Structures are given as structure tokens and as C-alpha cells.
Chains A and B, each alone.
Chain A
């Protein structure tokens, strides 16, 4: 059962423009959401998170938006840089639960 879905396997954006990565979930018990970035031959690196009590969290160029009624979250990167090129995973967990559920990932390519 895929409770976290990233429907776009890839995204290509021009340097300096905005990148928007999307994620949908089905489990209404999820209350904590995270984005991880993964470069080849490395483990996923934590990027940004958001609790279900918020609808927006910002950290520098990265902003995550949460729409609980739609069970949808998105990651905005602005301005996009070539070094942002990586696979981005959306993950979700329920409070006091032990496992994070990951989406399949979106490969972002930022072209110079």
C-alpha cells in the first residue's frame, strides 16, 4: 500500500527559476512530513520538515506547504541552483509511530 505518492518521477527547471515538487498522501493519521534530498552514492539528507499544525515552513530557499484537507504537500525551491539537482523524497509519519513512509522520489534537474 503506497501511502505516500510522488507522481512526477522527474522535473527539469532552469537555473534561477522556481522548482515545485509535489507529494500526496492517503493516511490521515500522518502528522509529520519531511523532505529528503539524495545524491548518487549517498544516503538521503534531511532537508526540511513540517508538522500538521502548520501549513507552511520556510528555510532559506526551501519552503514546504501543507494542505491537510487535500492531503497534499509541496516543496518549493527558489531560486533553483544546479547543485539542487538530486532525487527528492517526500516522507510522512504518524505521531508515536515508528516508521516513515516514503514516496518513490522525484529527480530534479536544474539546468544552467
Chain B
């Protein structure tokens, strides 16, 4: 059973550029959530995908978008990058949306916007 994997692990982008982050969910999990963790803070919910549909969204602007694929892997896309987007981006997969179950996190992608 493979865990949650994210790529790339580190990334440096210039303000105004676009970025795509990728996540492979744990085997058997159909729900993927994305979180942004700024330095010194806890993870903040961006959105969740369940069976390829967005299933909830946090307080993030529309330039943060996502996709989930038939194999339940997922992408996070951020357009028009801003300096404040610099953070650790975490992907978490879980067994089913809308139930009380723990989520399993990947190691994260450290994004730096310069």
C-alpha cells in the first residue's frame, strides 16, 4: 500500500507566474484535500475533491483551482502567483468525503515565490 506522494518537493517561481502541484493519493482513497501551511501556522483548507468533483472550498481566491483524475490523483493550480503564496502546500487523502475519518498527508511541496 503506497502512501500519499507529492511532487515536486521544492519549487521556486516568480511573481505573476502559474504553478501546478501534483498529488498521488493513498491506495483506496477517493477523496483528496489540499492545504496551505504558512510559516508558523497550521494548515489551512484550500479545497477538497471527491470522485473528480470539487466538494468544498476554503477561503481562497479563484486563482487557486484544482483537478482530480479518475485514478484519484490530484493537481493544485495557482495562477498569477503572489509573494504571499509562498508556503508549504499539503495534500491529504482520505477514505470517504463527509465522514469522520483521518486524512493521510503527503510530505508537501515547498513553494517559494520571488
Contacts and interface: CB of A to CB of B under 8 A. Distances in A.
A28 interface: no
A43 B42 CA distance: 12
A89 B43 contact: yes
B105 interface: yes
Nearest to B103: A100
Interface residues of B, number: 27
A43 B55 contact: no
A89 B108 CA distance: 16
Interface in A11-44: 31-32, 34, 36, 41-44
B98 A97 contact: yes
B40 A98 contact: no
Interface residues of A, number: 28
Contacts of B92: 43
Contacts of A6: 42
A54 B106 CA distance: 29
B33 A44 contact: no
Contacts of B104: 46
A102 B56 contact: no
B43 A102 contact: yes
A89 B42 contact: yes
A32 B98 CA distance: 12
Given A96-B98, A99-B33, A100-B45, A46 B103 contact: yes
Nearest 10 CB-CB pairings of A with B: A98-B56, A102-B42, A43-B105, A99-B45, A32-B100, A46-B102, A96-B98, A98-B48, A43-B107, A44-B105
B78 interface: no
A44 B90 contact: yes
